[in-house]
Homo-oligomer: A and B are copies of this chain.
Amino acid sequence: MRRIFFILFLTTFFVGFSQQNTLTIDDAVLGYYKGLYPTSLQNLKWVDDSNTYVFQKENELIFTDAKTGKKIKSLSLVQLQVIYPTLKRFPLLQEITPTHFSFRNRNSVEIVNYVTNQKKISINFDEKAQNTEFNSKAEAIAYTLDNNLYIGTASNTKIAVTKIDDENIVSGQAIHRSEFGIVKGTFWSPEGNFLAFYQKDESNVTNYPLVDITTYPASLNNIKYPMAGQESEKAKIGIYNLKNNTTSYLNIDTSDEHYLTNLSWTPDEKYVLVAEINRDQNHVWFNKYNIETGEKVNTLFEETNSKWTEPEYDAVFLPNSNTNFLWLSERDGFMNIYEYTTEGKLVKQLTNFNWVVTGIIGFDVKGKHVFISGTGKDARESHTFKVNLKSGKYDQITKQEGTHSTLINSFGDYFIDSYSSLNIPKNIKIGAIKNGKSTTILEAENPLKEYNLGSTEFLTLKGVDGTDLYAKITKPANFDPTKKYPVLVYVYGGPHAQLVTNSWLGGSSLWMPAFATLENYIVFTLDNRGSAHRGFAFESVIHRNLGDAEIEDQLTGIDYLKSLDYVDESRIAVNGWSYGGFMTTSLMLRNPGVFTTAVAGGPVTDWKYYEVMYGERYMDTPQENPEGYKKAKVHNYISNLDGKMLLIHGSVDPTVVPQHSMTLLQEAVKQKVQVDFFTYPMHPHNVRGMDRVHLVKKMLEYIIENNK
């Protein structure tokens, strides 16, 4: 009897203990599916030309007046099911007007009059369609099937915009490996009368062979992969005229393999504006093409830079203007806004920030102000600003520190502000532009409040060149400064990325604080020179010498760690993926003795195996910069290995192709150096889904095992 009681007591005790909840790696990696990330609001949108916003609550769409804060009405899934009986849950809305909304339903786009609760129209497309882009004015959808481009219309016509058999020619998809801000290959004209599209001719681009091991027997999957210094793709811009059903092409000679980027339409649909960049990526011509003739009308302006030029944003026309547009450029060292005319006249430099503009959100109804996003003075944050189009004077709309994402209504008088910070999981506010008064409509609970986790803190270190470097340090729960902790340095370090942000968890993956507490580790991350949102000088110091400045800055972080009494400086490990894999292997091999252990995922090991667009921007070609390529080539340091190093690669990685790891392994074997390797069969550049748990455990177990 006493024995039974004793066991019961223990059970209770353990239940009690488990309510302090240790966050496991499994749960941390699958956190999104486990409800461990802050909640948000689905279908949060402005209704066009109104002060009404909508969001979804369970299976109901709630309409609220931003002015009064009052609920106007709601629309339930049950009501929608009258029209669409097979609909299982409330759909994700694309556009919403005071009377209609559109959504995608398997193989169609549906437009519904939600006032009368009647289907207005269905636009069907092929079930294998990809790269879909719906346009409500055209009441049509552009999509691709294999390498050709099609349009589906309301009359259920399937228009073949291109009919090209040659599989080297690809239409309607993103080109240039999605560099230069390219995210898609179709561009509806403002009134929906035309569809501009990208086309690339990859005839001269070499194949990279990937192997599909799921077939019987294994089979070849060739991808087109232009490697630095080798022949590249040739781009074209096609124009499909929906009125007369013709496809024409702009007359642009790309035999020099130059880039066609940042495509935009003039509001009158007569011209297309294109930023053309030479293959060397140090010269931009912003050109205007007449779509009628296909001929270039004029070059609006040019930009050159001895390092690189990288336009990333399309031209945005001022409201009600057919001639004046805003253009974002880093030409003064930070991404700022310039006003130009279509004749090429620079009206003015609108902003003159010494911080980075990250986009144009919208305008007010009178066209006097533009709303933009940018870091503001703290590069770790993201804010929304209202800029006077005449004077350039600006107000910060988002007041709270953190990372904000804002939607402005089409009148430009109200905003929806979603934000988080290190201390705020997710807040959503509705506010008035005029006076900034706002109402909080969501204050997400801390989804980790029941878990025993340590703290993440920001710090700023001085780099060797005097630059401020932002870092973060995550400590375990029950941190004891009199103890000595081992460290995991998590690194990315490449361009266009920032790991230290004032957002929930400080921008870290949830496994990092989980790991810190589970294994009594310090997790440390520093954004070195070359990373994003610090301006051109900070970013471009890496030009032609990838690795050098980045390593220098990471070692500043190491020096700091070593200065801490609670850090065991003999137990520092490093881990990173992709560019972070390049950094991880470089840090390990070029600084023997600093790290005991390195785990590099999908690492670039030799920039000559990386692609033309990204690779040559930063490194020029192997022919032009042999010393830089040699210095950055990880293979050249393999014999320095002092400790344990694990390389991991997706077996069908189309981004950093497996050749990077395989040649490094080959060199290690040749040099009699023992390294470790793992491959994730059939995974591309990242290991996602359920298998990601396996990956993270593989990495962390290796670190635990060897960082001793």
A residues bordering B, Cβ < 8 Å? 206-209, 211, 213-214, 216-220, 222, 225, 227, 230, 608-609, 651, 657-659, 662-663, 665-666, 669-670, 672, 674, 676-682, 690-691, 693-694, 697-698, 701
Interface centre among A213, A651, A672, A693 (most CB of B within 10 A): A213
A218, B665: Cα distance in complex, Å: 15
Which residues of the partner chain B approach A207 to less than 8 Å between Cβ atoms? Answer: 219-220
Contacts of A214 in B (CB 8 A): 663, 666
Residues of B near A682 (CB, < 8 A) are 666
Least Cβ distance of A268 to chain B in Å? 45
| B217–A206 touching, CB < 8 Å | yes
In angstroms, how far is the closest chain B Cβ from the Cβ of A464?
A: 36
A524 to chain B, nearest CB (A): 26
Q: Which residue from B665, B691, B697 sits with its C-beta under 8 Å from A674?
A: B697
Which of chain B's residues have a CB closer than 8 A to the CB of A651?
Answer: 662
Q: How long is the Cα–Cα vector from A690 to B671 in the complex, in angstroms? A: 10
Q: Which of A216, A674, A681, A693 has the most CB of B within 10 A?
A: A681
Cβ B220 vs Cβ A209 within 8 A: yes
Closest to A218 in B: B659
* Residues on the B chain within 8 Å of A206, using CB: 217
Chosen A-B contacts, 5 in total, with CB atoms closer than 8 Å, are A213-B659, A216-B230, A217-B609, A670-B691, A674-B697
A677 touches B679 (CB 8 A): yes
In the bound complex, do residue B659 and residue A217 qualify as a contact, i.e. CB atoms below 8 Å apart?
yes
Interface-centre pick from A211, A219, A608, A663 (highest chain B CB count, 10 A): A211
Chain B residue nearest in CB terms to A687: B669
- Do B669 and A681 have beta carbons less than 8 Å apart? yes
Which one, B225, B665, B678, contacts A217 given CB within 8 A?
B225
Task: Identify the closest chain B residue to A26 (Cβ).
Answer: B672
**Chain B contacts of A701 at CB under 8 A?**
674
| Given A651-B662, A665-B678, A672-B693; 4 other pairs, CB 8 A cutoff | A213-B659, A217-B657, A670-B691, A676-B678
Q: Which residue of B lies closest to A678 (CB)?
A: B677
Given contacts A213-B662, A663-B213, contact A680 B669 (CB under 8 A): yes
Taking CB as reference atom, which chain B residue is nearest A670?
B691
**Cβ-defined contact, B211 with A217, below 8 A:** no
Contact call A679/B657, Cβ cutoff below 8 A? no
Q: How far is A206 from B220 in the complex, measured between Cα atoms in Å?
A: 11
Task: Name the distance in Å between A574's Cβ and chain B's nearest Cβ.
Answer: 20
List B contacts of A681 (CB < 8 A).
662-663, 665-666, 669
Residues of B within 8 A of A211 (CB): 209, 211, 658
Residue of B nearest to A220 (CB): B209
> Within the complex, which residue of B218, B662, B690 is in contact with A657, where a contact is CB–CB below 8 Å?
B218
Q: Is the CB of A213 within 8 A of B678?
A: no
Q: How far is the CA of A680 from the CA of B670 in the complex (A)?
A: 10
Closest to A609 in B: B217
Residues of B within 8 A of A608 (CB): 216
**A662 to B209 Cα, complex, angstroms:** 16
Q: How far is the CA of A599 from the CA of B659 in the complex (A)?
A: 25
Instruction: Determine which residue in A609, A670, A691, A694 has the highest number of CB atoms from chain B within 10 A of its CB, and name it.
Output: A694
> Which residue of B is nearest A697, CB measured?
B674
Give bound CA distance, A657 to B693, whole Å. 28
Q: Which residues of B contact A678 (CB under 8 A)?
A: 665, 676-677
